[in-house]
Amino acid sequence: MRTSQLERGAFLLLLAAVTVLFCWVLLPFMGAVMWSVALAILFTPIYRRLVRRMGGRNNLAALLTLTVALVIVILPLIAIAMSLVTEAANVSQRMRSGDLSFTRYLQQMLDAIPRWARDLLERVGLGDIETMLDKVARGAAAASQQIAARALTIGQNTFEFLVSFGLMLYMLFFLLRDGGQLSGTIRNALPLAKPHTNFLLGKFTTVIRATIKGNVVVAVIQGAIGGLTFWALGVQGSLLWGVVMTILSLLPAVGAALIWGPVAVYFLATGSVWQGVVLILIGVFIIGLVDNVLRPVLVGKDTQMPDYIVLMSTVGGLALFGINGFVIGPVIAAMFMAAWHVFATAETDGDLPPA
């Protein structure tokens, strides 16, 4: 005999199964789906302004907003990616031919260390500098080759990229046009109290907007300044290192100094004093201040997450999801904290802060 409880349980099981299967179907294009959602959230304010100015012509407003996103975000990123593939191929070739050798560079630094400094290092147990530098050189070379290999892989998967790119643009158009209605449908469908639903969805939107608007913009500016400085100072593979500095700038408490710092030390140790001084001044007073000045303006306290949570979630996201992880990781961390906040406040007084 069927009961309402049995029917409800069977329906919930069916709902969970088809949801998992649908996510499985979308898994190969997870990056396209994620970026279409993220860009839709970022450009929705522009879309709404255009709708008001065009008297409610939603399709035209969505198309114009899509064009704006293409011009100021997507096409520049594609151009940089194509240049990066070429640069990575050149760097990889020069490393194989021995033209570019981290061991040689570090050996030059070692030779420039004065005798009194070597004696001091020996007293504190760091006398075997050659072995230490050889390990660092092998690690740096392996990391560089890995970065170059990843960039070349991206360049070789042209068809997959074009399919994902087309899908992202297609979804972005409809998310811009129908995003408000879709958001309302999700809010009504979620089996949560309305204040809880609004808080969680508001947190999701806020973190994505803050991550892209703030963290990514700041990282791109820092990487661009670092790459241009490397190019002006004659550092080989300046575009590649600029991209690496951009990625590192996404990580709080780490930053681009992991790249420009050792290069500045190399310049100073090998007698290129003015290059080293210029790089240090630009790194400290321009690249460093960009983070301190722009990030609070663009992000503020929107994410309301400690730096160590942002750091761990970003690194974990990059490890699990690749380049998409710098958005997915902080979003998962923010939703985790928001869900536990909802649980804690519901257990006490039921009050929720505004999203």
Task: Give the orientation angle of helix 307-321 with respect to helix 325-348, to 10 degrees.
Answer: 130
Q: Given a cut of 50, is residue 355 above it in pLDDT? A: no
- Asked if the model's pLDDT at residue 336 lies above 70, the reply is yes
Rounded Cα–Cα distance for residues 239 and 79 (Å): 12
Inter-CA distances, 164 with 26, 159, 177, 226, 274, Å? 11, 9, 20, 30, 46
pLDDT at 290: 78
pLDDT at position 99 is 63
CA 111 centroid distance within chain? 38
Pairwise CA distance, residues 299 & 78, whole Å:
25
Q: What is the pTM of this model?
A: 0.66
The pLDDT-based confidence of 89 (bands split at 50, 70, 90) is low
Structure tokens that stand for 45 in this block: 């304010």
Q: CA-to-CA distance for 262 and 268, rounded, in angstroms?
A: 10
More confident residue, 251 or 228: 228
> Higher-confidence residue: 74 or 67?
67
Residues 6+ apart with CB under 8 A from 301: none
Res 249: pLDDT: 78
Task: Specify the higher pLDDT residue, 115 or 210.
Answer: 210
DSSP state of 303: S
Question: What's the pLDDT at 208?
Answer: 79
Structure tokens at 185: 């449908």
The CA distances from residue 32 to 39, 213, 287, in Å, are: 10, 18, 31
Q: Which stretch of 9-13, 49-53, 151-155, 344-348 has the lowest confidence by average pLDDT?
A: 151-155
d(CA 127, CA 66): 59
**Cβ atoms of 114 and 271 closer than 8 Å:** no
CA distances for 98 relative to 87, 135, 142, angstroms: 16, 17, 14
Rounded average pLDDT over 40-64: 86
Q: Say if residues 287 and 319 touch (Cβ distance below 8 Å).
A: no
Instruction: For Cα atoms 239, 74, 259, give the angle at the middle one, nearest 5 degrees.
Output: 25
pLDDT over 90, % of the chain: 0
Confidence class for position 121, pLDDT limits 50, 70, 90? low
Kindly state the tokens that stand for 269: 């140790």
